[in-house]
Amino acid sequence: MTRLSSRRALFVKRVFPVLWFGILVAVVVGILLASPAGKAVRVAAVPPVLVGVLGYALFRKLLFDLADEVYDCGDSLLVREGGLEDVIPLSNVMNVSATTLINPPRVADLIVRVDRARAGRAS
């Protein structure tokens, strides 16, 4: 089995968002505690709150739905998410995409094998 997913998936999905929001909360609390009470303090806390909302939207769109681990088993993919595990035949894969410069030969090979598997299923 060849691992297709990043070894940093756990960090990216679980640790990084906690660090991100933890830092933003610390900044907002720091702003509120370090300044005298007033409207200016509340205005200064708005940008970190907006960054938090934008961050959450991006994390939800790009990170939270990623699988924990994906392995290439030759004619199928083994996908692990939390405590669940599923085997997906290559003939059932609709699309393969990858981030540029992140191990393109391995993904290019997978694209070719998925196309062959789907063609074999159609005939």
The whole-number pLDDT of residue 112 equals 86
Provide mean pLDDT across the span 78-83: 91
Provide mean pLDDT across the span 46-70: 91
Provide mean pLDDT across the span 22-28: 94
User: What are the residue boundaries of the structural domains of the chain, listed by start?
Assistant: 9-62, 67-122
- HEC assignment per residue over the chain: CEECCCCCHHHHHHHHHHHHHHHHHHHHHHHHHHCCCCHHHHHHHHHHHHHHHHHHHHHHHHCCCCCCEEEECCCEEEEEECCEEEEEEHHHCCCCCCCCCCCHHHHHHHHHHHHHHHHHHHC
The whole-number pLDDT of residue 58 equals 92
pTM of the model: 0.70
